[in-house]
Amino acid sequence: MAAKVTVLSLLVEELNSGRVKVVDLTQPLDKDTPVIDLPPMFAPSPGFSMQTISKYDDKGPAWYWNTIHLGEHTGTHFDAPIHWITARTTRTTHWIPFSTQTGRPACVIDVSKKSLSTRTSC
């Protein structure tokens, strides 16, 4: 019996053949994650902090989880333009169809070596 062709099976086939490449642009969040640096007249954005709720202990014997706290301008975020006055009447990203954000040509600019030697404020 022939296997049913699904979008997922086609994606797996394309990934396995190398015709589709996925580039993970995520970055870990930690105390060193960049935060927007605004002039002193504006409220500062808090950086990333994390408090353990439970870690396989009395508060949660079978799980590890945390509370995180950060300003929404910590690191990068997809809907950054909506945060400025020029976009106050624009819909936020939850209105953008996911299909318009995938399958598009991309250019990867690797600055990892340069970023190791240079640290700039955001």
Contact 51, 31 (CB under 8 A): no
**pLDDT value of residue 79:** 67
The winner for highest mean pLDDT among 1-5, 103-107, 109-113 is 109-113
Q: Which residue has the higher pLDDT, 23 or 17?
A: 17
Could you tell me the pLDDT band of residue 48, with boundaries at 50, 70 and 90? very high
Annotated active-site positions, please?
83
Checking if the pLDDT of 122 tops 50, the result is: no
Q: How confident is the model over 20-37, as pLDDT tens digits?
A: 888 777 788 888 888 888
- The answer to whether 68 touches 49, Cβ cutoff 8 Å, is yes
Under the banding of pLDDT at 50, 70 and 90, the label for residue 116 is confident
Q: Which of 74, 93, 71, 73 is nearest to 82 (CA)?
A: 93
* Cβ atoms of residues 38 and 72 within 8 Å: no
What is the three-class DSSP state of 79?
coil
